[in-house]
């Protein structure tokens, strides 16, 4: 039946009617708040490219995590800025490393808050790449298989420190299976893996690299992160991670890849996380600061759109603000 019998505006007439037929609801319970914990600072240090987000000491991270939880955000995602870096990234699996210490402190203060730890080497390597670098002359390669052992070792250290979920973000082939095997071998079979399954080599990570001090010293990450043009390959990446034992799969970034969120959700039927990344956050903040966008309305529309596309979980720097607005 068409117009004039059919009039879609009938159900848009009032706030109550619109609410009754709303298909997607945004809830603080679906959000994850990322945080940057830094070694050797005793106060908050603002990250210029990401207004409202700071480098945190462990004590401030405990406060900030508690604040997020009080607003109804059930989980935080931790990144670390370590005391030092080396060729291998050994700070990643140091049981007294910055993320391990922060995880213990946060879990002690807020036992019911879910602590997800990012699992990668790039914040800990002197060269800033996500794996073992082999250099021949001016050429370099990130060597896949030797990296797997280091990631597996890191996953055990993080889980032992109390991480509720480990989240490998490196994009090495076979890492999920290696991490699953290591966790199981060490009696950590109950620790879930949230894999950054379909992670693009994206321009939208720019502000994060300042925040995590993880820009590669040479080259770029296009030999391991995905080509933004490839949708079928993104699905293959997600399927492989599911086969290897991932419990949750991620699409990163979110906004240029809403189609992949939908495809991967429909295909895998897995719990799906989308990472609304630093560049997406910084764009909204910059436009809002210039009076070009209503920040609150824009953020809630963006997060709803990511949920509507098929994401069950949205990782976002807007989490605390959004949770406050949703109250
Ligand atoms: Zn990395």
Q: What percent of the chain has pLDDT over 90?
A: 94
pLDDT at 139 over 90: no
Catalytic-residue membership of 252: yes
55, 12 Cβ separation under 8 angstroms: no
Distance 126 CA to ligand 1 centre (A): 12
Weakest mean pLDDT among 26-35, 109-118, 208-217, 308-317: 208-217
User: Cα–Cα distance between 40 and 299 in angstroms, integer?
Assistant: 33
What is the average pLDDT across 151-156?
Answer: 98
268 alpha carbon – ligand 1 mean position (Å):
25
Catalytic residue from among 107, 252, 265, 320: 252
Supply the angle between the helices 231-244 and 175-185 in degrees, to the nearest 10: 20
pLDDT of residue 138 exceeding 90, the answer is: no
What is the Å distance from ligand 1's center to 118 Cα? Answer: 9
Closest CA to 247 of 202, 293, 205, 195: 195
Residue 208: name the closest of 38, 31, 50, 43 by CA. 50
Q: How far is the CA of 142 from the centre of ligand 1 (A)?
A: 11
d(CA 208, CA 128): 13
Structure confidence by residue, pLDDT tens digits, 187-204: 999 999 999 999 999 999
What is the per-residue pLDDT across 298-316, written as a single tens digit (0 to 9) for each? 999 999 999 999 999 999 9
Distance 304 CA to ligand 1 centre (A): 28
Could you write out the DSSP letters of every residue in 36-69?
EEETT-SS-EE-TTSTT-EEE-HHHHHHHHHHHH
Average pLDDT over residues 49-65: 97
Q: How far is CA 317 from the centre of its chain?
A: 10
- CA distance linking residue 136 with residue 194, whole number of Å: 34
Q: Which of 15-19, 110-114, 137-141, 287-291 has the lowest mean pLDDT?
A: 137-141
Q: Is 265 a catalytic residue?
A: no
Average pLDDT over residues 76-84: 96
Tell me the C-alpha distance between 50 and 88, whole Å: 29
- Ligand 1 midpoint to CA 79 (Å): 10
Around ion ligand 1, residues with a beta carbon closer than 5 Å are 120, 122, 130
- Residue 17 pLDDT > 90: yes
What pLDDT is stored for residue 136 in this prediction? Answer: 85
d(CA 116, CA 162): 10
Largest CA distance in the chain: 73
| Angle at the Cα of 61 from the Cα atoms of 120 and 253, rounded to 5 degrees | 45
Q: Could you tell me the distance, in angstroms and rounded to a whole number, from the CA of residue 3 to the centre of ligand 1?
A: 54
pLDDT value at residue 213: 84
**Predicted structure pTM score:** 0.97
Q: Which of 107, 199, 265, 285 is catalytic?
A: 199
- Give 7 Cα–ligand 1 centroid separation in angstroms: 51
* Ligand 1 geometric centre to CA of 173 (Å): 13
* pLDDT > 70 in the chain, percent: 100
Distance CA(248)–CA(190), nearest Å, equals 14
Distance CA(293)–CA(224), nearest Å, equals: 35
The pLDDT assigned to 104 comes to 98
* pLDDT for res 33: 98
Q: Residue 204 and residue 298: Cα distance in Å, rounded?
A: 18
Q: What pLDDT sits at residue 210?
A: 83
| Mean pLDDT, the chain, whole residue set | 97
Name the DSSP letter for residue 35: E
- The pLDDT tens digits for 213-249 are 888 899 899 999 999 999 999 999 999 999 999 999 9
Query: What local confidence, expressed as pLDDT, does residue 209 receive?
Result: 87
| Length of the chain, in residues | 327
Q: What is the pLDDT of residue 215?
A: 87
């Amino acid at each position: 039946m068409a117009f004039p019998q059919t009039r879609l505006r009938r159900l848009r007439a009032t706030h109550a009617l619109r609410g009754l037929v709303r298909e997607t609801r945004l809830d603080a319970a679906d959000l994850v708040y990322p945080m940057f914990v830094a070694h050797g600072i005793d106060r908050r240090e603002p990250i210029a490219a990401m207004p409202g987000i700071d480098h945190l000491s462990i004590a401030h991270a405990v406060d900030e995590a508690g604040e997020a939880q009080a607003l109804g955000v059930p989980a935080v995602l931790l990144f670390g800025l370590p005391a030092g870096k080396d060729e291998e990234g050994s700070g990643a699996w140091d049981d007294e490393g910055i993320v391990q210490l922060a995880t213990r402190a946060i879990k002690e203060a807020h036992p019911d808050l879910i602590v997800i730890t990012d699992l990668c080497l790039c914040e800990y390597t002197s060269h800033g790449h996500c794996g073992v670098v082999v250099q021949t002359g001016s050429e370099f390669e990130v060597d896949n298989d030797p990296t797997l052992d280091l990631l597996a070792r890191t996953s055990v250290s993080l889980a032992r420190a109390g991480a509720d979920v480990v989240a490998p973000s490196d994009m090495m082939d076979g890492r999920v299976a290696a991490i699953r095997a290591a966790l199981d071998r060490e009696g950590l079979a109950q620790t879930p893996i949230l894999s950054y399954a379909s992670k693009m080599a994206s321009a939208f990570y720019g502000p994060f690299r300042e925040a995590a001090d993880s820009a590669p010293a040479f080259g770029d990450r296009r030999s391991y992160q995905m080509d933004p043009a490839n949708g079928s390959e993104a699905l293959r990446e997600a399927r492989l991670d599911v086969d290897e034992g991932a419990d949750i799969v991620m699409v990163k970034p979110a906004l240029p890849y809403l189609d992949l969120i939908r495809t991967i959700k429909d295909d895998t039927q897995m719990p799906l996380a989308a990472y609304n990344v630093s560049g997406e956050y910084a764009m909204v903040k910059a436009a809002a600061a210039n009076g070009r966008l209503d920040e609150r309305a824009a953020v809630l529309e963006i997060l709803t759109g990511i949920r509507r596309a098929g994401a069950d979980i949205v990782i976002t720097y807007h989490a605390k603000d959004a949770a406050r607005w949703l109250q």
